[in-house]
Amino acid sequence: MLLDRNLQIDCLDRKNDSLVSFTFHGPQRRQDNLIMGRKPRPRGKNNNMEAQLFSYVFGIGLLGIGAIALLSSTFFTVEQRTTAIVQRLGKFVRQEEPGIGVKIPFIEKVVGRVNLRVQQLDVEIETKTEDNVFVRMVVAVQYFVLPENVYDAFYKLENANRQITSFVFDVVRAQVPKIKLDEVFEKKDDIADIVKSELSQVMEGFGYGILKALVTDIDPDAKVKESMNEINAAQRMRVAATERGEADRILKVKSAEGEAQSKALQGRGIADQRQAIVAGLRDSVDEFRKSVPGTTAKDVMNLVLMTQYFDMLKEIGASSRTNAILIPHSPGNLTTLTEQMRNAMMEADQTVKASDSATHVSPIALEEARGATGIKGNSRHKTSGNFDRTNIPKPNK
């Protein structure tokens, strides 16, 4: 049965819990198309064209993906200073040098790449010295893969770093316990050379070469470092004290030498001064005697003493902080003071002459002198003994 109108049917979608509407068009629409002069489109032919277009596009996409996969599995690149290891079905085939390489897709495979550059491995070790001090050392090992032994380096060792670390631990812990702490710092280059020698012999069989082994750090315990610093500080303080004492000695010696030279020059100056004074007094006395007839040298000396006496009083009075004590005197007693000074010098001269004559006294006279003065002693006592020679009585003629 054909329907002239459109038919709309509402259905309930229980899965999504929603209302779905369907509309069916009757023959009326077809008749409208004929009246307006338009031909209806066949639906089956349009659907076939869309299906063909979709298949064409899908096929092109699959071909593109396949081509990209084929190219990526066929060509590969190798960087500079690197070697690629190629296997065919799990078996080693060849080594590829830097550049672009070709392999059979899905049959050959690049299983690894070996770095030919120089690499460095820092190994931190804790060990003790001969004097039982624990130190932490860092040994830097610079190694590289030998280009002619790439196969051995890739297949013989699974982890080269662990292998090198084990050998470094073994060598260092065998050498450092034989050395004292102070010598460890001095012989660190010897330790590094031993590590390099041992590693070179072992790692060469695995395709590795050792360029250099360096002891980059030696770190004792904190307390040990503090004590070493204190010892060093004490030694430096001792050296500083020695140098300071030497400097003080040099200063004192130089000061004493300067003082001695100063006193020598001062004495020479005083002597020259006295000579000049004596020469001046002599000239003054001669001139005074010539100018004043009848005067004697004694009169001139009294005049000089008087002049010096008044000059002395003038200097004492000019100073406000003098500690001189003046005995009772008067200008009229100046002659008396002069006579006292002259008598004192004469008595001193007589005493010296008496002492010189006493050295020639006979032993009998000395015994008699001791008996007279009450001095007891050995008769063999030398004439230079401790007694007053001025008290020796002269022998009777």
Q: Could you tell me which of 103, 99, 97 has the C-alpha nearest to residue 72?
A: 103
CA–CA separation, 27 vs 10, rounded Å?
A: 21
The encoded tokens of residue 319 equal 């100073």
Predicted confidence at residue 208, as pLDDT, reads: 95
CATH number of 121-220: 3.30.479.30
The encoded tokens of residue 104 equal 């059979």
Contact 13, 20 (CB under 8 A): yes
Over the stretch 267-309, which tens digit does the pLDDT of each residue have? Answer: 888 888 778 877 777 777 777 777 777 777 777 777 777 777 7
Predicted confidence at residue 305, as pLDDT, reads: 74
Predicted confidence at residue 188, as pLDDT, reads: 92
The encoded tokens of residue 297 equal 């040298």
Predicted confidence at residue 22, as pLDDT, reads: 55
Domain with CATH 3.30.479.30 in the chain: 121-220
Which positions of the chain have pLDDT values less than 70? Answer: 1-47, 322, 324-338, 340-342, 352, 355-397
Q: Could you tell me which of 224, 189, 187, 191 has the C-alpha nearest to residue 125?
A: 191
